[in-house]
Structure 1
Amino acid sequence: MTGTRLVIDGVTLTAGAYRLVEDVSLAARPGEVIGLVGPNGSGKSSLLRAVYRVLRPVTGRVSVDGTDAWSLPVRQLARTVAAVVQESGAEFDLSVREVVAMGRTPHKRLLDGDTPEDAALITSALAAVDATDLAHRPFDQLSGGERQRVLIARALAQQPSLLVLDEPTNHLDIRHQLEVLGALRRLPATVMVALHDLNLAAYYCDRLYVLRDGKVTAAGPPADVLTPQLLDEVYGVMGEVTIHPRTGAPQVTFLPAEPHPAAPTGAEHSSS
């Protein structure tokens, strides 16, 4: 698994008469982790759908290593791009290990069984998301967070050169958020990930693209992009941005519009 170059050039996406994304351009170099951030409805998920070929651009081009992604044969695309979406809606009557093994399908011919290499990759993918103990459990009996980790493991087993993830930390507890993003960070593949948590995005992503109303409003390294002014303009909130003394990454602290309510004093609750 090696990284691939992704270029999105002047892409516009629509749903009927509504523009989801307008004239968006971005690039990811091989092996980079690129973060898409922005409020709900800003176009992050739509842009990812154009990359894994669910939503076709009305203008512009998505290219993978210089080739139009929409011109690639389905099998070749599946060997190149893996996607983890927000809501798969999938109910698999399979064990966890069988679900993860589905990631090997693009690399097989019809009716091929698992090879020792396949088995090793499946085992490694489960371990990467701390799902080894889930291997023989029915997928449809897992919690939301457990399912999410298994679907990420399936994408890892696919060994793509481009991995696209839409809010992969949804449903995950803090420990597994860090473990999953750490695993993605260590991949040789190129990764494009949509995240709501700006602090996770700042720590794990090489560069951020900030979307608002379907357009890119800022792009660059997290330390350059995440500013109090941007938080105000894009999210409509006040915030402070500092450099964390231990991680060296930008740390965003949001400031509520209302002052913190004072804790009741003992006198206020004393009996008369």
Structure 2
Amino acid sequence: MDFQSFNNLLDTTKKTLSYYLTHITPSFSKKEISTMVNDLEEKGKVKTKSIIDGFMLMPMDDDVEDMDLSGYNKAQFTLLFQAFISAELESRRAVKWRFYHFLKYSKSMTGIEEVHANIASQDLPELDFILKTAGGDIILVFCDYILELSLYNKAREILSTINKNAGIQPTRIIFAASKTYRNIPMDETVDVNGIPLQAEIWVEWVDLEKPFNGEDLLIVNAKDKLNIAGFNFSGIQDVLDYVYKYTEGGQISIYKQPSFFSEAVQEDQQYVELIWKGIMIKT
């Protein structure tokens, strides 16, 4: 069983939802939450400062210990739960912010230095993120729940003129989606200001053979012990990426406590099980 949908929760009070939300790892800062809630609610009225009008430079805070959820109502708690925990929110904006969550714990390996999120761009409504790496590369990200040929073709049209209109010369293009059709011609290059680029696809892949479920607690035994919720990760590789970033490496053991977040399992029925062990060498 993976993490249950909102409608299957026995207790949907703000207190219970807050408990789940505070286990999102890595945590979100107050500014990040405000930006995401505003975007998920499709308000679109935010003053932004970025390399393009209508985009916001995200803080990508790493040192958030406790998420500040004060000031949000029950509907907004539900929205965040469905977007990040049960992942049942099937929309372009939900995929967009789940991709952002992935960027937070993988940025040290991907070299991402800046994330500019589309909050209210009228000129480039289809473009969701502009990423900048430490090496100066520019990566453009288009998101949708299902990657259809129409979005792919529209993106190609945008890319053919983006350098002229926005002064951006991308070096990589990523399409992020929960699902994709097979008719997307990914083998074709996209011409951007005379430079051919190969598009990439990031899909919300769910590893059917992963050794844990969304309701499991993952216990990482390293120099500094970590307790993280299984619903943050789609597979063991995502967990290892997170452990690589947030520990000093060395001898690592990862255990799961099955159904830790399940309301149907009593505390005295819970146990731990080893799911991964090895030596992690950081370079």
Same fold (TM over 0.5): no
TM-score normalised by the chain length of structure 2: 0.30
Give the number of the structure with larger relative contact order, counting CA–CA contacts within 8 Å between residues 6 or more apart: 1
Relative to its length, the structure with more helix (as a share) is: 1
